[in-house]
Chains A and B, each alone.
Chain A
Amino acid sequence: MGSEGEQRSYRRLVILMVLLVVPVYSCTIGRVYRGSEIKEDPGKRIVIGATTKGEILSIFGPPDGVQKQFDGDIFVYAYFRKNTSTLALEDPVFTSMTFFTFNRVQEKRDSLVILFNKDGVVKNYGYYAGTRELEPL
């Protein structure tokens, strides 16, 4: 009787292992960070009509891009982040088959664009903190 009970429990164990391994749910999380965060608050540090190009460079550092216009330069600052999450139902051991995949990709960036006049003084600026909208998963 005892050995029959043991056999039954081993059979259950094998079934459980098969259910766990073939197939398995796998979860993959990916993170990409590119560039430097815009740490200073442009609303507090930039005064339209007063802040100069030299001050902008000392506050925010070198821009990631510069564009020339007929009436002054444009500085572009950008910080890029990408979050990916994938949930897959697959059998990686015996058949390498994927039965189901859920993939989620979020790409967001913080962007700061500063427009200068010909004298190198801030004419206007635009700021968008997109990375705050990133969800953890």
Chain B
Amino acid sequence: MKRKGRTCLYVAGILILLLFSTGCVIGRYYEGPNIIAEKVKNIKPGITTKEEIVEWFGPPRNYMSPTVFNKILQELDITGEPLGTFPFANILSYQYDQSNIRAVILVLFNYAEAKVKSDHLVIFLDENERVKYYGFRRGTEEL
């Protein structure tokens, strides 16, 4: 009877140990200023000037160094070469990154998922520094 109780205790101990080794991870990462879609609608090719764009959306991202998040992704070898390279004076690029990370750790089975999406606005200027073309994508809606 004593042995039976001890065995039950062992089994319970192992099960508790397994239970406490399980976990769930949820991570969110946001980087860059939000791109307001209503302001994007105000952009008129041939009319809107570079000054107006900078006033509405702030300093373009392509004039700044790569973001910390992109550096981390590269360092950890999660993604390949960096995207979003626009080293040209007649292109203004704005980007807002959002990353959702989730993981379930059940010891015997683990699942991890990372989704990195961006709202991206790229504006091409003509020789008079007015908008020639622009493209906008709200990638964070796909998250």
Q: Roughly how many angstroms separate A17 CA and B15 CA in the complex, as a whole number? A: 9
Which residues of B does A touch, CB under 8 Å?
A: 3-4, 7, 10-11, 14, 17-18, 21, 45, 73, 78-80, 83-86, 88, 91, 93, 107-118, 120-122, 124, 132-137, 139, 142
Taking a contact as CB atoms closer than 8 A, the residue among B3, B10, B111, B135 that contacts A61 in the complex is: B135
Complex contacts, A25 vs chain B, CB 8 Å:
108
Q: CA separation between A14 and B10, bound complex, in Å?
A: 8
Are B112 and A92 in contact (CB-based, < 8 A)? no
- Bound CA–CA A108/B79 (angstroms): 10
Chain A residues within 8 Å of B, Cβ to Cβ: 6-7, 10, 13-14, 17, 21, 24-37, 53-54, 57-58, 60-66, 68, 78, 80, 82, 92-93, 107, 109, 120
What is the distance, in angstroms, from A45's C-beta to the closest C-beta of chain B?
Answer: 14
Per CB-CB distance, the 9 closest pairs between chain A and chain B, nearest first, are: A57-B135, A61-B137, A62-B122, A62-B135, A64-B83, A28-B110, A34-B116, A31-B113, A54-B133
Q: Could you say which residues of chain B place their CB within 8 Å of the CB of A37?
A: 142
A80 shortest CB reach to chain B, Å? 6
A32 touches B114 (CB 8 A): yes
B115: shortest Cβ distance to chain A, in Å?
Answer: 5
CB-CB under 8 A from A54, the residues of chain B are 45, 132-133
In the complex, the answer to whether B139 meets A35 with C-beta atoms within 8 Å is: yes
Residues in A with CB closer than 8 Å to B113 are 30-33
